[in-house]
C-alpha cells in the first residue's frame, strides 16, 4: 500500500501539529456557542476524530454523507445526500469538517442546505484546500494546508475506496490510476 505513494506531502506529525493549531482557534471562537460539528463522511472521518479532541469546549457531533465522486478521480458534478443529519440545525452554530475542498461543489451544496434550514452560523474547517480546482465560490474559514493540484490520498482521502487508512497525506503514483 505504501509503495503506491509517490511522495508524502504531509506527515502524521505535520497533520497533528496543524490540527492542534486549528483546534485552538476553533475552541476560542466557539466558547459558549455549543456548536454542532459536522463530519462529512467518509473522507473527513479521521480528521474529525483528531480535531474533535483538540476542541476544548462544549460541542455536539453529527455526521452527514454527501458524495460527489464515483470510484474514479474525476468529479461527476453531482452531489447526493446519502445520510442526512440527525440534529435540527435551526438557530445553531454549525461547523462543517472536511478533509478536502476541491471544486467546492460538495461544500456549496451543504452550506446552502444548512442556511436554508436556518442555522445561525455556518463555518467550514478543512484539512486540505485545493483552490486551483475551485468552480464554486466556497471559502473555508479554517484551513490546514493548501495543496497543489495533484491526486492526493491518505488520512481519509481515498482512491476507489482505498488509502483512507494511511496516517499521512501523499501523492498517488500515476500508474495506480492510469488506464483504469
Short-list 116, 115, 117, 104, CA closest to 68: 104
Q: Which residues contact 112 (CB under 8 A, 6 or more apart)?
A: none
For residues 18 and 54, give the distance between their C-alpha atoms in angstroms, rounded to a whole number.
11
Which parts of 134-173 interact with ligand PRP (CB under 6 A)?
158
| 43 forms part of the interface with Mn ion (CB under 5 A) | yes
Which listed option, Mn ion, ligand PRP, Mg ion, none, makes contact with residue 102 (CB within 5 to 8 Å by class)? ligand PRP
**Taking CB under 6 A as the rule, does residue 102 contact ligand PRP?**
yes
Q: Minimum Å distance from CB 100 to Mg ion?
A: 9
Among 15, 23, 30, 43, binds ligand PRP (CB under 6 A): 43
Catalytic residue among 65, 71, 84, 102: 102
Of 23 and 43, nearer to Mn ion (C-beta) is: 43
d(CA 120, CA 104): 22
Residues that bind Mn ion (CB under 5 A): 43
Catalytic residues: 102
Amino acid at each position: 500500500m505504501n509503495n503506491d505513494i509517490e511522495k508524502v506531502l504531509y506527515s502524521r506529525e505535520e497533520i497533528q501539529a496543524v490540527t492542534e493549531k486549528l483546534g485552538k482557534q476553533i475552541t476560542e471562537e466557539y466558547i459558549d456557542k455549543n456548536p454542532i460539528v459536522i463530519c462529512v463522511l467518509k473522507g473527513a472521518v479521521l480528521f474529525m476524530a483528531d480535531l474533535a479532541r483538540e476542541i476544548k469546549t462544549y460541542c455536539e457531533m453529527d455526521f452527514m454523507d454527501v458524495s460527489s465522486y464515483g470510484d474514479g478521480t474525476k468529479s461527476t458534478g453531482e452531489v447526493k445526500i446519502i445520510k442526512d443529519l440527525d440534529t435540527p440545525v435551526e438557530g445553531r452554530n454549525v461547523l462543517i469538517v472536511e478533509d478536502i475542498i476541491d471544486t467546492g461543489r460538495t461544500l456549496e451544496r451543504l452550506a446552502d442546505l444548512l442556511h436554508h434550514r436556518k442555522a445561525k452560523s455556518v463555518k467550514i474547517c478543512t484539512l486540505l484546500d485545493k483552490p486551483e480546482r475551485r468552480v464554486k465560490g466556497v471559502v473555508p474559514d479554517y484551513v490546514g494546508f493548501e495543496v497543489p493540484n495533484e491526486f492526493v490520498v491518505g488520512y481519509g482521502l481515498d482512491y476507489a475506496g482505498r488509502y483512507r487508512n494511511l496516517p499521512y497525506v501523499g501523492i498517488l503514483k500515476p500508474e495506480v490510476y492510469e488506464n483504469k
